[in-house]
Amino acid sequence: MAVYVNGKVCKDPNLVEAEDFLFSGLHIAGNTSTPSGNIGTKAIIPGLNTFGLSMARGDFAPSGFSSPHVHPRASEMVLVLEGHLEVGFVTSNLENRLITKFLQVGDVFVFPQGLVHFQRNARGDTHVVSLSAFSSQNSELSRVSVACFESNPAIPVDLLAKAFQVDEKTASQMGGI
Amino acid sequence: MAVYVNGKVCKDPNLVEAEDFLFSGLHIAGNTSTPSGNIGTKAIIPGLNTFGLSMARGDFAPSGFSSPHVHPRASEMVLVLEGHLEVGFVTSNLENRLITKFLQVGDVFVFPQGLVHFQRNARGDTHVVSLSAFSSQNSELSRVSVACFESNPAIPVDLLAKAFQVDEKTASQMGGI
Amino acid sequence: MAVYVNGKVCKDPNLVEAEDFLFSGLHIAGNTSTPSGNIGTKAIIPGLNTFGLSMARGDFAPSGFSSPHVHPRASEMVLVLEGHLEVGFVTSNLENRLITKFLQVGDVFVFPQGLVHFQRNARGDTHVVSLSAFSSQNSELSRVSVACFESNPAIPVDLLAKAFQVDEKTASQMGGI
Amino acid sequence: MAVYVNGKVCKDPNLVEAEDFLFSGLHIAGNTSTPSGNIGTKAIIPGLNTFGLSMARGDFAPSGFSSPHVHPRASEMVLVLEGHLEVGFVTSNLENRLITKFLQVGDVFVFPQGLVHFQRNARGDTHVVSLSAFSSQNSELSRVSVACFESNPAIPVDLLAKAFQVDEKTASQMGGI
Amino acid sequence: MAVYVNGKVCKDPNLVEAEDFLFSGLHIAGNTSTPSGNIGTKAIIPGLNTFGLSMARGDFAPSGFSSPHVHPRASEMVLVLEGHLEVGFVTSNLENRLITKFLQVGDVFVFPQGLVHFQRNARGDTHVVSLSAFSSQNSELSRVSVACFESNPAIPVDLLAKAFQVDEKTASQMGGI
Amino acid sequence: MAVYVNGKVCKDPNLVEAEDFLFSGLHIAGNTSTPSGNIGTKAIIPGLNTFGLSMARGDFAPSGFSSPHVHPRASEMVLVLEGHLEVGFVTSNLENRLITKFLQVGDVFVFPQGLVHFQRNARGDTHVVSLSAFSSQNSELSRVSVACFESNPAIPVDLLAKAFQVDEKTASQMGGI
């Protein structure tokens, strides 16, 4: 029986072996043939349970983007390995201040826990490769456009129309990436 | 000089007095003449610093709603005091499952930390009064439509258009409540 | 097999459903026909495990009271919904300062973690309804008069007599509410 | 200006010296000429701020006792260095089960966080010396008889009388050790 | 099936009994006929799981020592019960400052979490008895000479030779206590 | 006045700006002309205070190595960006098991909090570039050979000689990298 603590399975520490601490393949470019031109690849490490840490690679095709999203349980620190990455996060209500930067290779930026943020390939001609660290073994991700417009079942369309100040027909046609 | 720890000022414990633990006025209905027909009233308590707890009242006019939002640092537990409240939260990616309920007076519901959730007065003829507790003295709130479409400065409109799958003209006219 | 973490059972996050986040009935007045004229009703929510949050309703008959007690694992924030509530907590040794307030409807007061506190219906003619939030899913409660004079088995009566400065006969007749 | 975090002053880590980590004198017997025949001596260590740890010595004259008390922020582990020590803690409501032991030299016992517990010299002819560790740099202590019957100002006597099931005259004469 | 949380097995709180909170025998001198003339005796307490606390006795023959080591998950507070104990810890890189003290009976000293520290019987004619508390139920211990020179399998000898600036022959003959 | 919480200065959240979340230059190869052929470059981010996260780049000349060390307050996750990296950590006493791996580009490995670990360029002809994330904003680092043999002032040489099982003359000539 698997036992979940903070979303991860616990293991008897005497039974761990090297493979429990290893993930291979983060050098492999993710397939960016997605609607957003962006794909994330998480390092899946079995022994990670309560370490408060995880890592993922990001690939962005030219003009690809990671749409506004939150990590419910983690702050994120992103490093640009290739290309130019536009990043931003929005401070909480009532301020709603966008704190934004154009990052170059070697730049590191932090997104505070739970705040809406985005990333975008700032150029139309090169790929971006980024590397992100998270302050939780179970950072999770919630894209706000998907959570709002692609949930299963759907959030009532009239509520979405009002929240985003569009007419209901538009809201019903909207989606999320 | 004020010292901030997790967003709150620390105070010498020997100098505290009853007023540091008190807030008055949570019985007063908030003014729901807002675009969303909803208003929140937080209990502001000076001595709260590291207690990991806070409380707020919610008022919803008929059909009023609290648009999809996250609390970056807290889970929320909401109790319906008056009226009928429709609530829902969306689990994290890739599942994006909407977990929803129509709450009656006396119902309590929990929104897990950092997940997108909404609340709505489910009736067109009565007010709703709710009471929420948060697992942080500094729960913060980020409305996703405001964070996306009303930030200062603005998130690039072409990114928003793609994220929410509307044309750029529509995106530029959208707002957030 | 149930697995306990901080006093609550863990559940596979993929199997949760709306009922795991719901409790109904906190609008129902508890039966205050108790020796203290007070009764608490906890919101029992299965999916609460590591959320660091819980909620309870308090009912107080005229002159009813919640005798001095501690919550071993939580701070408490109480809101008065009906009536007038006298509250107080005693700071730790050696100060032992009573910090007290007469609360009205809409007043919120905080009891810091682990400190002895009490609540009392300050009027003889009306009921009090209160709503409390706790900074733990497993706040627990220990009434000091019950823990001292009604434990099973009993604490030695001579120790209690000395601690509370009564003769042993009195101590042996004392009880706890 | 002193800055308090969890009740302790923070210090620039580059300025610490050996004395910040040192306390001398825990071998010195405390003066047990107190009403309870018990005295505690805390190790006061300036650099302890966020270490989550503290230590104290206990001395008990023959028949001396540490009256029922709680540590609001810490579990306690006690070791008997000399003599025989009777210990007990009461589980939380509604169980209120007394878990008790007669400890000999070399015995270690744990009192879980926030639960009412007591210690007593189990013999009338020898001293007891104990050593306690706490899971907080700021464990605090609240004696329930003192908090209830010796607070400043006093808790209303009629409430105490009912809570402890004595008449008001007795309650007004009671005290706390 | 045993479930591990932070290295300890969880237990249903309703099934605990006094023995779950008890360890006997910390008054028994450990056998210091070890290569280092030092032995530690941990108090093994079944119900300790998430209490963030543990305790151990240290015995040091004349000139016995506890070689440089770290506790990966805990700060340590040590009290000298008998004899004279020389203690020291080294602050982190780049400072590498040795903070050291000769402790007498009744002295308490703190070793901050994860820093390399040692203890030594400062006299050649008497035993030392010490008592240590740790800020974790699962403090663990890693002796740096053993971890480096006695691991199984071995760390490559050329790396050790360079790290410790000895020739490889010497490194291959080195061991750890 | 700067206020330190967990080793970092706190800042009023309303005054933060983009530069508080930014570090530039992690693409720049560190100068590996060090005795160990290894150099680390930390991303210094002013607004990091309580985020529980930090990041650093590692450069290893051919045969360069990071000598056995611990991070007192953090687990580490390392990603190989270029070259081949041999890594290992030693489990705690009494097991002292070396868990080791030869990592290739794209491999990720985790070093649990506070355990002795090392990294080495496994090839003699190419550089290694690695990227590490830490589960603390203040992970700190203590190299065991430096802490033992290069502290200021020095740890007594006879203790080191015995701990590492060399003669005192050798111990006095040893150093740390």
Pairwise CA distance, residues C52 & C74, whole Å: 9
Q: Which residue has the tokens 């009306």?
A: C126
Q: What is the pLDDT of residues C126-154, one digit of tens each?
A: 999 999 999 998 889 999 999 999 999 99
Residue B17 C-alpha, separation from nearest chain A C-alpha, in angstroms: 30
What pLDDT is recorded for position A1? Answer: 40
The pLDDT, as a whole number, for residue E10 is 59
- Interface residue F29 vs chain A (CB under 8 A): no
Sign of CA dihedral E144, E150, E154, E160: positive
B90 contact partners, CB below 8 Å, separation of at least 6: A142, A147, A148, A151, A155, B68, B96, B97, B98, B99, B115, B116, B117
Judge: E5–A1 Cβ closer than 8 Å, yes or no: no
- Give the confidence band of C9 by pLDDT, cuts at 50, 70, 90: low
Give the Å distances, CA to CA, from C123 to C100, C127, C128, F53.
Answer: 16, 8, 9, 53
Are the beta carbons of F5 and D10 separated by less than 8 Å? yes
The answer to whether residues F166 and E164 touch, using CB atoms and an 8 Å cutoff, is: no
Task: Tell if the CB–CB gap between C72 and D112 is shorter than 8 Å.
Answer: yes
Interface test with B, best of C103, C108, C130 (most B CBs within 10 A): C108
Angle value at C-alpha A135, between A30 and C9, nearest 5 degrees: 105
Instruction: Report how far residue D103's alpha carbon sits from residue C127's, in angstroms, rounded to the nearest whole number.
Output: 48
User: At a CB cut-off of 8 Å and minimum separation 6, what does B4 contact?
Assistant: F10, F11, F12, F13
Tabulate helix, strand, coil % of chain F (nearest 5): 15, 35, 45
Q: Which residues of chain E have pLDDT under 50?
A: 1-2, 6
Q: F22 vs A109: CB contact, 8 Å cut-off?
A: yes
Could you give the CA distance from residue D72 to residue D117 in angstroms, rounded to a whole number? 12
Judged by CB atoms within 8 Å, which residues 5-24 of B form the interface with F? 5-7
C27 labelled ligand-binding = no
Which of B91, B153, B93, B143 is closest to B119 using CA atoms? B143
| pTM listed for this prediction | 0.94
The continuous run of DSSP H or E covering E171 comes out as: helix E168-173
For residues B16-54, one letter each, b for 16 or more C-beta atoms within 10 angstroms of the residue's C-beta and e for the rest, the string is: beeebbbbbebbeebebeeebbbbebbbebebbbbbbbb
Closest D-chain CA to C86: D156
Judged by 3 or more CB pairs under 8 A, whether B touches E is: no
Contacts of C144 in chain D (CB under 8 A): 68, 116, 144, 147-148
Q: pLDDT: is A134 or C1 the higher one?
A: A134
pLDDT-derived band at F138, boundaries 50, 70, 90? confident
In whole angstroms, what is the distance from residue F11 CA to residue F27 CA? 28
Rounded Cα–Cα distance for residues F158 and F142 (Å)? 22
**Do F48 and F74 meet the contact criterion of CB atoms below 8 Å apart?**
no
Q: What is the band of F10 on the pLDDT scale with cuts at 50, 70, 90? A: low
For each of chain B's 177 residues, which pLDDT tens digit applies?
445 554 455 566 677 899 999 999 999 999 999 999 999 999 998 876 678 899 999 999 999 999 999 999 999 999 999 999 999 999 999 999 999 999 999 999 999 999 999 999 988 899 999 999 999 988 899 999 999 999 999 999 999 999 999 999 999 999 999
CB contact under 8 A, E106 and D75: no
- Determine the residue type at A53: L
Element (H, E) at C93: none
Residues B138 and B154: their CA atoms lie apart, in Å, by 25
Give per-residue pLDDT as tens, C28-54.
999 999 999 999 999 998 876 678 899
Query: What is the token pair recorded at E50?
Result: 């998430």
| Chains C and F are touching, with contact defined as 3 or more CB–CB pairs separated by less than 8 Å | no
Burial call A41-51: b when 16+ CB within 10 Å, e when fewer: bbbebebbbbb
B51 with C112: Cβ contact below 8 A: yes
pLDDT of the residue at B122: 86
* Residue F161 sits at the chain E interface (C-beta within 8 Å): no
Annotated ligand binding at F117? The verdict is yes
The DSSP bridge partners found for residue C97 are: D152
- Does F161 lie at the interface with A, CB-CB under 8 angstroms? no
Identify the CA nearest to A132 among candidates A115, A114, A110, A117: A110
Q: What is the DSSP letter of D137?
A: T
Q: Give the model confidence (pLDDT) of F33-68 as tens digits.
A: 999 999 999 999 887 667 889 999 999 999 999 999
Residue with tokens 């419910």: A72
Q: Of the candidates D110, D128, D111, D112, which has an alpha carbon nearest to the alpha carbon of residue D120?
A: D128
Helices (H), C116-166: 144-149, 157-164
- Residues β-bridged to residue B102: B86
Report the SS3 class of residue B102: strand
CB pairs under 8 A between D and E: 137
Contact residues on chain C for D124, CB-CB shorter than 8 A? none
| F147/E90 CB distance under 8 A | yes
Nearest to E131 among D79, D109, D112 (CB): D79
| Cβ-based neighbour number of residue B167 at 10 Å | 9
Unique residue bearing structure tokens 């009703």 = C41
Q: Each residue of D120-165: pLDDT tens digit?
A: 998 889 999 999 999 998 889 999 999 999 999 999 999 999 999 9
Question: How far is Cα C97 from Cα C90, in angstroms, rounded to an integer?
Answer: 5
**How far is the C-alpha of C122 from the C-alpha of B47, rounded, in Å?**
24
pLDDT tens per residue, range E31-75? 999 999 999 999 998 876 678 899 999 999 999 999 999 999 999
D156 Cβ under 8 Å from any chain B Cβ: no
Contacts of F62 in chain E (CB under 8 A): none
Residue A169: count of CB within 10 angstroms of its CB: 10
ipTM of the complex: 0.93
| DSSP character at residue D168 | H
Q: How many whole angstroms separate alpha carbon C147 and alpha carbon D97? A: 8
- Cβ atoms of A110 and A75 within 8 Å: the answer is yes
Nearest to A177 by CA among F174, F128, B161: B161
pLDDT of residue F6: 47
In the numeric block, which tokens belong to residue D1?
Answer: 């200006």
Cβ contact E104–D133 (<8 Å): no
| Count of CB atoms situated within 10 Å of the CB of F63 | 17
Which of D63, D43, D62, D61 is CA-nearest to residue D53? D43
Least confident among A66-70, A127-131, C10-14, F123-127: C10-14
Distance CA A150, CA A173 (A): 11
Tell me the two tokens of residue E61.
């023959």
Q: Which residues of F touch E68 (CB under 8 A)?
A: 144, 147-148, 155, 160, 163
CB neighbours (10 Å) of residue F41?
19
Neighbours of chain E (3+ CB pairs under 8 A): A, C, D, F
Q: Which residues are registered as beta bridge partners of D128?
A: D60
Helix (H) or strand (E) holding A118: strand A117-121
49-78 of B, contacting A, C-beta below 8 A: 65, 67-73
User: What is the dihedral angle through the alpha carbons of F74, F80, F82, F86, rounded to the nearest 10 degrees?
Assistant: 90
Helix (H, G, I), strand (E, B) or coil at D24: coil
Structure tokens at A75: 């702050």
3 state SS for A57-109: EEEECCCCEEEEEECCCCCEEEEEEECCEEEEEECCCCCCEEEEEEECCCCEE
Structure tokens at B8: 């709150």
Inform me whether the C-beta atom of residue C127 falls under 8 Å from chain A C-beta atoms.
no
pLDDT along chain D (177 residues), means of 10: 50 80 96 96 82 94 97 96 97 94 97 96 93 92 97 96 97 96
Burial group, residue D113, by CB count within 10 angstroms (0-12, 13-18, 19+): buried
Which residues fall within 8 angstroms of residue D27, CB to CB, at 6 or more apart?
Answer: E80, E81, E104, E105, E106
What pLDDT is stored for residue B47 in this prediction? 73
Q: Which pLDDT does position D1 carry in this prediction?
A: 41
Q: What is the CA radius of gyration of chain A?
A: 18
HEC per residue, F64-121 = CEEEEEECCCCCEEEEEEECCEEEEEECCCCCCEEEEEEECCCCEEEECCCCCEEEEE
Decide: C168 and C161 in contact? Cβ < 8 Å.
yes
pLDDT at E51 (0 to 100) = 83
- Nearest Cα of chain F lies from the Cα of E68 at a distance, in angstroms, of 7
- Token duo for residue A128: 């971006």
Q: Within chain A, where are the H helices?
A: 144-149, 157-164, 168-173
Other Cβ atoms less than 10 A from the Cβ of C160: the count is: 23
Verify whether the Cβ–Cβ distance B1 to F1 is below 8 Å: yes
F143 contacts F68 by C-beta, under 8 angstroms = yes
> How far apart, in whole angstroms, are the C-alpha atoms of residue F116 and residue F108?
18
- Check CB contact under 8 Å for F10 and B2: no
**Burial of residue C63, with CB atoms counted within 10 A of its CB: 0-12 exposed, 13-18 middle, 19 or more buried:** middle
Per-residue confidence band for F1, with pLDDT thresholds at 50, 70 and 90: very low
pLDDT digits (tens, 9 = 90+) for F79-95: 999 999 999 999 999 99
Taking one residue from A and the other from E, the number of pairs with CB-CB distance under 8 angstroms is 13
**Shortest Cα distance from F136 to chain D (angstroms)?**
15
Query: Which of B2, B5, B7 shows the shortest C-beta gap to F5?
Result: B5
Residue E13 three-state SS? helix
Beta bridge partners of D4: D9
Low-confidence ranges of chain A (pLDDT < 70): 1-13, 48-49
Rounded Cα–Cα distance for residues C40 and C71 (Å): 13
CB contact under 8 A, B133 and C53: yes
DSSP 8-state code for residue E125 = S
Share of residues in chain C with pLDDT > 90 (%): 81
Q: Do B92 and A175 touch (CB under 8 A)?
A: no
